[in-house]
Each structure stands twice: as structure tokens, then as C-alpha cells.
Amino acid sequence: MPDTAIAEAPAKAATGGNILQVRNLEAWYGESHILHGINFDVNAGEVVTLLGRNGAGKTTTLKSIMGIIGKRAGSVKFNNQEIIRATSDKIARSGIAFCPEERGIFSSLDVRENLMLPPVVREGGLPLEQIFELFPNLKERLNSQGTKLSGGEQQMLAIARILRTGASFLMLDEPTEGLAPVIIQQIGHTIARLKKEGFTILLVEQNFRFASTVADRYYVVEHGKIIDGFSNAELAANMDKLHTYLGV
Amino acid sequence: MRATFKGTPKGSGTGSMQALYAQLLVGLINGSFYALLSLGLAVIFGMLNIINFAHGALYMMGAFVAYFLLNLGGINYWWALLFAPIIVGIFGMILERTMLQWLTGLDHLYGLLLTFGIALIVQGVFQNYFGSSGLPYAIPDQLKGGMNLGFMFLPIYRGWVVVFSLVVCLATWFLIEKTQLGAYLRAATENPTLVRAFGINVPRMITLTYGLGVGLAALAGVLSAPINQVRPLMGADLIIVVFAVVVIGGMGSIMGSIITGFALGVIEGLTKYFYPEASNTVVFVLMVLVLLVKPTGLTGRAA
């Protein structure tokens, strides 16, 4: 199946309108060519997961969409607006929020300051009460230094702070990495809850067992390209292929 | 020779205690300049990771702008306290936009060399037109005279410098440590890429921060003008001590810079009283000791 066809075919099965359209996305770190023409779509209200091995280009894809990678080419349309040439602050203000793999909790800020750091970019963000309902631990640790939290609490804080902003499209980079199973389960419940609230989520995951509990659709990334895509209903039928792709 | 206020030498005043208090006051005044200048350096280093060797020249420009405002525009000291930092701050922002921003991510040495070169050029231009001798700048009428505190005579202007500097230093600390804007600054110091990805225009914030740091230097220049006169090399003489203060306090630490600035001024003043021969070197001796024991400074982070 051609790459663009992979991008479009499963997306047609989804119900919401197209919110993100990525076409022929290429990216470089210095002289290293990392993404070689990524194509995929995300529809409003979906949870879409990018799967792939280490170094396949999943995180680079998110960073390229967010405008963090300096050298990139192709097309990224968010709500039909081209954002490939926009700076990351303008992309954030268009309604995309990014939760990085390393969580990005600031050590010089306490939990409250970390939580309140991202500015509100539009109406519709979750009020603090609702955020504390989702992550009750954070309310008890508001005055602690951000980096004194446990790994799970830091991940919750990293997700919580982007929910305030009013961004409707969340990009979560490996939110379960290095966390205990009970925390992973809690993150899964949170993502399901956010989906119910109407958020659209683009998830990068190596743990496809976790992803299968929350995702509507999957794309497989390999060597900087999307090599396959299927819906959650097709997951069981594609399990053998998936094992081969991910080397598990 | 440093262009700091010298005060009364031991034994030449009306009594040894009066001489001690006088040196303490001198120490506090010098400490005020150290604190304001090292605070600006700390703000700039924290945000831009640049060791701003042009800081002394910008301090001098603050004093000269106050002199020009008074002599060419008839604008008095009180307005100069407002306008000189703004004018020199804008000059600093132009420097940042046109030159310093291109050094992002490069070794500290490049920033140090560039700002040192800027300092030499700025000082050279002023020296060419105004020579090396000082230009007079009068103390404003409202701050002339002095108060007899019983145990010492306090010149009002010098008291004003100490109090005003302290207020400005604490206000800057409050801005950076206790406000949302300060949270942006502190976060951008750690991870500017992520802060920008949250929707904050970090390059603009860096420019404004450099302007703020430069404005603090210019403010110190205006405060200094009536005490030390206005001279092209007034900043060059002072900046070496200020760098020692910043190294002792810790690069990038706001409160560290303020406390160390005032404390070292006082220590210098006390040394002038107890052992005058060491007064010009005590700060550097302390710097060596601090570097041996705690290389990041008393309250600082690693560069």
C-alpha cells in the first residue's frame, strides 16, 4: 500500500473530522536525515498511536509537528492551517500541546508553578478542580519542588499542566515509560477520560499492550516512514505483523 | 585604581568608632553598586548563558545618559533614574538582537570575547570625546546635606543610594522568584525549547531580560554619577570587582548576587578600617577561597 494510502485508509473509518494532516514530513538533526516522508491523519476526538522501535522516528515526528526540530520539510496541517513553517510558540497557540518523553518538569519551579506555567492559549481548558480530580496527588504536593515528585507524579504533572491551556490536541510522548504497572493503569484511565472530554490525542508508545487499551488507530513507524496503519478492531488480526515490526 | 567611594581613613576622623561607621557606610554604598551590577549580570547569565563583559561599559553609559539628559535636555536626576535605564536598556536590546543572539549554544568564550570587545569599543568612543577625567554631576537639591545620627554623620544622598538600591534589588528578586513572569524566566533558563513549545515567545523574553539586566547597570550608573563623577572608564574600574562578587555569590543566583554584593561591600569597608592595605584585595582573596571550597559559588549553579 503506498504511504499516503496508509495514512488515508484507516482514517476514513473514524467518525470525527480531520484535525491533523501530515504529508511527506521530513526532518533532519544537523546532517542526519531522520524522517523520510511521514504521512498520516488524525481525526477529532480520536486517540491515535505511533508505534515503532527505538530510533524509528516517533519522537522526531511529534517534535517536527510541534516545530521543535529546526530543519523540516513537507506539510503539516492543523485544522486546515499549514503550520510547517510556524515557530513552536505559534503552533502551541494554535491549540496543540506537547508532553515530552523526558516530562520536562522544571527543577527551579514548585509543583504549582509547573502546573500554571503553560499559558492559556484558548478557552475550553480544564479548570484546576477537574485537574485535581484527575490527579489528586498533585493537590497534596503543590508546594513541593517539581523534581522531588516520584516518576509517576511527574508524569501526571506533565500531562496535567497541558490540560489547563485550552489546547484540544495533545501529543503525549511515551507517557508510561519507566512507570510502575499501577501508575500505567492510572495514566490509561486518564487518557480514556480525556478522550471522553473531547480531547484528540496523538500518542507515541512502545508498549502496545498499554496502547491497545486506549487507542482507536495505530500507525507503525520504521526508518523515518509510516510502514503500516490499522484500527483497534484490526489489532488482533495484525498481531503477528506487529510483533515483527516491533521485534517483540 | 577602583572608582569606589573611599571614605575616611582610620585614625584621621574624629574618633575610631566614627571612622568605623563611616567605613561601614562606604562599604554599604559600594555594596549597593556591587549588588545592582552583579544582579544584572546574574539575570543575564541565567537567561542567556552569557558572561556580559560589556556590563561595566553599560553602567558607564547610564551615568553619561543622565549627564546628557541634564546638560542637553534639562532633564533632572529623578527623571534620569527612569529614562537612563530605559534608553541604555534599549541599546542593550539592540545589541542582543543584532549580535548576542547569534551566540546561542556556543561556548561561553565567544560571548565573553564579544561583550569584552563591545565594552572596549563603547569605552573607546566615550574616551575619545570626553577624555579620561570626570564630568561633574550634582547631587539633586532634595538629597543634599546630611543627618547627624548621634554616632555618625550620614550624607543623605549616600543613604538614599543604599536604600534605593536595596529596594530595586528586592523588587527584581520578587519579580523573578515570585511572579508568573519570573516563573517563565526561570523555566526558560532550564529548558527554553520546551517553554517555547508551551506558547511563550522565548526569543522576545530573552531580549527583554537582557534589556532588564542592562537597565539595572544603567540605573547603578545614574546613582553613581553624583558620587564618583561621570567618567568613560568608571565601569572598567568597577567591573572586575563585580565579577569577583558574582563568582563568590554564584553565577545565575539572584538572591546570592544581592546578598554577596552588599556583604562584600561591607567586608571591604571593614577591611579598610582594620587593615587598609588589604582593602583592595580582600574580595579577590575571598573569591579564591570560595572557588577552592565551592567552585559554583556560595549559592550558584554550575555554568
**Does pLDDT of A87 surpass 60?**
yes
Which set of grid coordinates corresponds to residue B231? 567618567
* B186 to A108: CB separation less than 8 angstroms, yes or no: yes
Distance of CA B90 to the CA centre of its chain: 17
Phi, psi of A45 (to 5 degrees): 85, 0
Sign of the CA dihedral with B36 first, then B42, B48, and B53 last: positive
Cα separation, B42 vs B50, in Å, equals: 10
Cα separation, B47 vs A106, in Å, equals: 14
pLDDT value, residue A14? 44
Nearest to B129, CA basis, from B219, B231, B220? B231
Q: How far does A243 lie from chain B, in Å, by closest CA?
A: 33
Q: How far does B222 lie from chain A, in Å, by closest CA?
A: 33
Q: A16 pLDDT band (50/70/90 cuts)?
A: low
At B285-296, the pLDDT tens digits run: 999 999 999 888
At B258-285, the pLDDT tens digits run: 999 999 999 999 999 999 999 889 999 9
pLDDT value, residue A47? 95
Residues of A in contact with B199 (CB under 8 A): 89, 92-93, 118-119, 121, 165
Phi, psi of B104 (to 5 degrees): -55, 130
Phi-psi region at B158: left, alpha or beta (left = phi > 0; alpha = psi -120 to 50): alpha
Winning range, highest mean pLDDT, from A130-144, B54-68, B260-274: B54-68
For A118, the closest of B191, B198, B201 (CB atoms) is B198
10 Å Cβ neighbour count for B295?
Answer: 12
- Specify the long-range contacts of residues B125-132, CB closer than 8 Å, at least 24 apart: B126/B60, B126/B61, B126/B64, B126/B232, B127/B232, B127/B233, B130/B64, B130/B231, B130/B232, B131/B232, B132/B231, B132/B232, B132/B233
**Does pLDDT of A242 surpass 90?**
no
At B180-213, the pLDDT tens digits run: 999 999 999 899 999 999 999 999 999 999 999 9
Mean pLDDT of A74-88: 95
Task: State the Rg of chain B over Cα.
Answer: 19
Which set of grid coordinates corresponds to residue B153? 554623620
Nearest to A38, CA basis, from A57, A10, A14, A54? A57
**Does pLDDT of B168 surpass 80?**
yes
Q: Which residue of B has its CA nearest to A170?
A: B198
* A106 to B187: CB separation less than 8 angstroms, yes or no: yes
* A116 to B194: CB separation less than 8 angstroms, yes or no: no
**Does pLDDT of B121 surpass 90?**
yes
Residue B120, judged by CB atoms within 10 A of its CB (0-12, 13-18, 19+), counts as middle
User: Mean pLDDT across chain A, nearest whole number?
Assistant: 89
Phi-psi region at A57: left, alpha or beta (left = phi > 0; alpha = psi -120 to 50): left
At A196-208, the pLDDT tens digits run: 989 999 999 988 8
Residues of B in contact with A67 (CB under 8 A): 197
Mean pLDDT of A57-77: 95
**Does pLDDT of B253 surpass 90?**
no
Q: B17 pLDDT band (50/70/90 cuts)?
A: confident
For A113, the closest of B183, B194, B196 (CB atoms) is B183
Nearest to A135, CA basis, from A118, A104, A168, A159? A159
Phi, psi of B131 (to 5 degrees): 70, -165
Tell me if B97 sits within 8 A of B207, measured CB to CB.
Answer: yes
At A17-56, the pLDDT tens digits run: 889 999 999 999 988 999 999 999 999 999 999 999 999 9
Residues of A in contact with B202 (CB under 8 A): 89
Q: How far does B51 lie from chain A, in Å, by closest CA?
A: 21
pTM for the full predicted model: 0.85
Which of A65, A89, A105, A162 to mutate to probe the B interface, most B CBs <10 Å? A89
Q: A160 pLDDT band (50/70/90 cuts)?
A: very high
Residues of B in contact with A88 (CB under 8 A): 193, 196-197
Cα separation, B227 vs B44, in Å, equals: 26
Residue at A92: amino acid letter: A
